[in-house]
Amino acid sequence: MYYRLPQFEYLRPNDLHQALETIREGDWKPLAGGTDLLLDMKNGRQSPKKIIDISRLSELRYVRTNDSRVLIGGGSRLQELLENVIVKEKLPLLSSAIYEMASWQIRNIATIAGNLCNASPAADSAPPLLVHGARVKLISSSGSRTVPLSEFFLGPRKTVLSNNELMGEIDVPLLEGYYYRYYKIGRRHAFTLSVVSMAIAVKIENGIFSDVRIAMGSVAPKPVRALNVEKELIGKEAKTVEITKAIDLVSEDISPISDVRASAEYRMKVTKFLLKESLQESLKYFWK
Ligand SMILES: Cc1cc2nc3c(=O)[nH]c(=O)nc-3n(C[C@H](O)[C@H](O)[C@H](O)COP(=O)(O)OP(=O)(O)OC[C@H]3O[C@@H](n4cnc5c(N)ncnc54)[C@H](O)[C@@H]3O)c2cc1C
């Protein structure tokens, strides 16, 4: 079958100010790398009449850091984040997730804001950012607002973003002294969408789980934290707590479905297996 793009009005602003002034009125759809949007337009899932191409806005491409956080411009390409020393050193979970995303060619044009704003339950950058408790800065011509990423997603392809806003920045607090692990289970080893993805960060102090952060993709209508599992573990003695009982609570955190990639049962089974493996590994890490 041959897919064609429908006709649309196209504008490529020179700077961020012009972009924000433009989207203030009318229904302009932002196009960054186009690796999600153009496919949706070709298969008829979306048919915006006006496209604003934000791919060349240099104001949205940066990585900055201080002692407590990393700030990532929304227009940063996935490949530049993968090659960025700050991301590599300070955000290993995000770096691992991006390493397993798509291919070099796609990562060279795809942006991190595009991955988040597309709001796919399988968006691979989301679990690591949720584990860090990241917040996103949504900017418009009248100012900006900051929203926790956990409140940004409303459901598949739905977010709190308004028509007149762009995702300008992702603010990622640093986590120090944690055991980290990122998993992506797909139907192939590489170049595939997740069947289950998981990011986990665990801290054990004086033998107690002082913090446990777990986030998952492709197992619910949106990327989610496993808050019930986290709550069951935090404050408990790490060596004696009933890990299996805590893990079983994940069925209250996620609601996997069966689709072309995997069955709901398989997703649930894999999720529990990954939780068990990573929690056991975290014990070994702190008692090495
Ligand atoms: C072959 C292939 C493989 C892929 N593999 C993976 C994978 O392994 N893992 C994965 O998670 N994804 C994967 N993807 C999906 C896609 O590449 C990513 O989601 C990518 O990060 C999207 O970024 P983009 O810049 O291309 O977004 P676009 O397609 O340009 O935009 C996506 C959506 O975000 C909106 N948007 C973009 N930027 C902004 C902004 N700054 N502010 C507000 N709205 C904005 C757009 O309006 C649109 O609704 C794959 C895609 C392809 C084609």
The pTM assigned to this predicted structure is 0.97
**Based on the structure, what is the number of domains in the chain?**
3
| CATH number of the CATH domain containing 30 | 3.30.43
CA of 249 to the centre of ligand 1 (A): 32
Main-chain dihedrals φ then ψ at residue 180, nearest 5 degrees:
-120, 150
Query: What single letter denotes the amino acid at residue 111?
Result: T
Separation of CA 111 and ligand 1 centre (Å): 6
**CATH number of the CATH domain containing 93:** 3.30.465.10
64, containing H or E segment = strand 63-65
Is residue 1 a part of any domain in this protein? no
Is there an atom of ligand 1 within 6 Å of 19 CB? no
Helices (H), 70-206: 78-82, 85-90, 92-99, 104-107, 112-117, 126-131, 149-152
| Pocket lining: 30 vs ligand 1, CB cutoff 6 Å | yes
Residue that is last in its domain, among 140, 173, 206: 173
Give a yes or no: residue 2 inside a domain.
Answer: no
Q: Is residue 86 domain-shared with residue 132, that is, in the same domain? A: yes
- Confirm whether 267 is domain-assigned: yes
- With a 6 Å cutoff on the Cβ, whether 71 touches ligand 1 is no
**Residues 220 and 256 grouped into a single domain:** yes
Domain that holds residue 252: 179-286
Q: Residue 265 sits in a domain of what CATH number?
A: 3.30.390.50
- Tell me the pLDDT of the chain (288 aa) as tens digits: 557 899 999 999 999 999 999 999 879 999 999 999 999 999 999 999 999 999 999 999 999 999 899 999 999 999 999 999 999 999 999 999 999 999 999 999 999 999 999 999 999 999 999 999 999 999 999 999 999 999 999 999 999 999 999 999 999 999 999 999 999 999 887 788 899 999 999 999 999 999 999 999 999 999 999 999 999 999 999 999 999 999 999 999 999 999 999 999 999 999 999 999 999 999 999 987
The response to whether residue 101 sits with its C-beta less than 6 Å from ligand 1 reads: yes
Comparing CA positions, the residue from 89, 69, 87 lying closest to residue 78 is 87
| Same domain flag for 113 and 90 | yes
In a domain, 3, yes or no: no
128 with 222, same domain: the answer is no
3-state secondary structure 215-229: EEECCCCCCEECHHH
Distance 227 CA to ligand 1 centre (A): 27
Ligand 1 centre and the CA of 32: distance in Å? Answer: 8
Q: Are residues 215 and 280 in the same domain?
A: yes
